[in-house]
Chains A and B, each alone.
Chain A
């Protein structure tokens, strides 16, 4: 009884067109099918593919899923069915040694997992999930590294539930260990389970699936009145309600599941909202992102070998992807269920890293209120929360943030009526309320940018209702200054003022004039404000911004989308002055989009843009190798 009892015939892709190196690849292998019975296996695989791709969220993820069958002939048909497990005593010669009666239980259908994994890896090296289809009408299946199921009606549901464990690390949501009459399973231990779909926590603010819970839903949503037994009452809330339902993770009480029912609780029912999102976040990153083309991307480097990138999908989902030198790109996933406001160019997700193990992110929701969330290495992503008691802002507003020191954040945006608003967070006092900054009002579509040249000073910039650039500052000793106009340059009302400080006594400003010319001015502590000038004859695509990076105190790099929608850069170096604009690696951007850049190590730039196909792209420049080609940002 071994691989001597059969032959691997070959492999066929039965579903999916995704590139095999960037897909969720499911491999089904034939067990106990003789040479002349392969069509029965093929039929079973087709039925499984239909069932899986008809199950949410796999239906929506089908473009990233490939299904393969590996035809294997066995000498005999069927599987062992030992008497010790209540079976017929059948003993057959098959390739993967499948047997009913594992652990003395007939329905527990086990196999030689080493052989299954070895054959799967040889046939489809990129496989994500291996399933063994056993040629028997006796009901059975099992999980683990290899899912098994027989041809009995409904047995393929076993494979989908077990994939929930093996491929997506979901917990069991059923409230018993051995059917409900067991002892020792009345109360869940007081340790939070690591899996994303069960919890001991019913506090709304910290609930791990809080993003999916409506404000009107009570928590806990259902409590078990008698912990000595399971709560078998029907749901007291409408189907599909996400909340906290007591009885989960093998315990009658003290652990909660997200919906009343879920495929991780019962076979034959759909996955709950939370399990669907977990599966989506595992497979979805294999796909590329269709971006909201004109919404600026944000990028943060928590440490030199790491990038966190934030973007908004065409349907408004707040998305993030990350790169690490040791793991490559992780792939796009939705950040805490967020949807960003679609007004104007669309609200971006802005981000800041106060220290290497922490991120703070900001956006404007579809209700045009300002939201924040955070990521911490110890706990992952928080839920989105309304910032500082709530502020109605202009649809599509940008929320900019500065951290003057590790324990402090200053946040800036424009209210619905154009007032320039700020709030702050301090580690010692938490969030302040919103306040109006020195009576300032911004032009429609303008953003407020801020910079901290040193920890006890802020400089703010915006475009006023007269379409001129205005500034004010805050200093710990003197508080907020009044707003003042910087020269008389007419600028586009929706132009962001990009500012960098090459050193603490220098500011360089870049923005777009009303005639699309790229203009700049500067301030330094010795000479005060300079006059506006056009940078190397450059002009930007209508709606596009200009982005500046200061790699050294005597080096500036600028990025923009030109009037021909090509992606351009130039630099300033002292000595030498301004270079001419050049097209980066042939790149063409979506009209009116914005190019952003970051320098996470010296002599290196990472650049991000939305292409003319609305996909996100990146390239890099390295001092030793120059500019690389553009690549689509997803997973690697």
Chain B
């Protein structure tokens, strides 16, 4: 093209850093960031696992991004090649994780959800699985008034 590329129609992005200690989760940092996002999903898609869901002021879901890094187990690696990798349950799960979410103008809050397939906890029961269970781990306002320090 002879034409200069225009930036297209990106909504912008926001990096969030959370701290967790057991079931307690705190949003400790949010930062507008100029970066391309891959892996964001639209509200029409079905999700499973932990996600950060961006919501508008009426709590309507705008987009969601998978969340990794909240650990309840740890991996222990062998010093000798060929020896097995092992998983151990953490005695006291705590730490921090980060997620970059789309930041459209309408974004008002972000909810951390753990979406569990309905069958996962009721394998022994007959009949079709219901809709996934959406466990809310926390809802964090993105507006100035509601921000945490």
A residues engaging B (CB < 8 A)? 20-22, 102-105, 107-108, 113-114, 116-118, 121, 125-126, 139, 141-146, 152, 154, 157-158, 161-162, 165-167, 169, 172, 174, 176-180, 189-191, 194, 250, 266-268, 282-283, 285-286, 302-303, 306, 323-331, 356-357, 377-379, 585-588, 611-613, 615, 617-619, 628-636
Contacts and interface: CB of A to CB of B under 8 A. Distances in A.
Nearest to A152: B79
A326 B11 contact: yes
24 contacts: A103-B88, A113-B95, A116-B96, A121-B15, A125-B15, A125-B34, A154-B79, A166-B69, A174-B84, A178-B87, A285-B38, A326-B43, A326-B63, A326-B106, A327-B11, A327-B37, A331-B36, A377-B44, A586-B2, A611-B1, A629-B4, A630-B3, A630-B6, A635-B37
Contact of A326 (B17, B19, B88, B104): B104
Contacts of A105: 76, 88
Interface string B1-45: 111111111110001010100000000110101111111111111
A179 B87 CA distance: 8
B81 A268 contact: yes
A636 B38 contact: no
Interface in B79-101: 79, 81-82, 84-88, 90-91, 95-98
A418 B46 CA distance: 42
A20 B6 CA distance: 18
Contact of B96 (A114, A179, A612, A619): A114
B19 to A, nearest CB: 6
Contacts of A194: 48-49
B84 A176 contact: yes
Contacts of A172: 75, 85, 87
Interface residues of B, number: 67
B59 interface: no
Interface of B: 1-11, 15, 17, 19, 28-29, 31, 33-46, 48-49, 54, 62-63, 66, 68-71, 74-79, 81-82, 84-88, 90-91, 95-98, 102, 104, 106, 117, 119-120, 123
A328 B104 CA distance: 9
B77 A588 contact: no
Nearest to A105: B76
Contacts of A326: 11, 42-43, 54, 62-63, 102, 104, 106
Nearest to B42: A324
Given A121-B17, A165-B68, A587-B3, A143 B75 contact: yes
If over half of B's interface residues share one DSSP class (helix, strand or loop), that class is named, otherwise mixed; here it is: loop
Nearest to B79: A139
A104 B92 CA distance: 12
Contacts, number: 219
A356 B77 CA distance: 45
Contacts of B33: 125-126
Contacts of B66: 169
A190 B123 contact: yes
Contacts of B35: 20-22, 125-126
Given A118-B17, A190-B123, A635 B38 contact: yes
Given A166-B69, A286-B38, A613-B1, A113 B96 contact: yes
Of B8, B40, B76, chain A has the most CB atoms within 10 Å of the CB of: B8
A629 B5 contact: yes
Nearest to A611: B1
Contacts of A166: 68-69
B88 A121 contact: no
A249 to B, nearest CB: 11
A21 B34 contact: yes
Nearest to A141: B77
A586 B75 contact: no
A108 B76 contact: yes
Contacts of A611: 1
Contacts of B62: 326
Most buried by B among A103, A117, A154, A331: A117
B131 to A, nearest CB: 10
A328 B3 CA distance: 21
A630 B63 contact: no
B91 A103 contact: yes
Contacts of B63: 324, 326-327
A263 to B, nearest CB: 11
B98 A145 contact: yes
A601 to B, nearest CB: 13
Contacts of B37: 327-328, 635
Contacts of B78: 267
Contacts of A157: 77
Contacts of B76: 105, 107-108
Nearest to A178: B86
Contacts of A20: 35
Contact of B31 (A125, A139, A329): A125
Contacts of A179: 84, 86
A191 B7 CA distance: 43
A157 B123 CA distance: 36
A589 to B, nearest CB: 8
Contacts of B81: 154, 266-268
A246 to B, nearest CB: 17
A629 B6 contact: yes
A162 B68 CA distance: 11
Contact of A107 (B77, B98, B119): B77
B32 to A, nearest CB: 9
A636 B87 contact: no
A165 B41 CA distance: 19
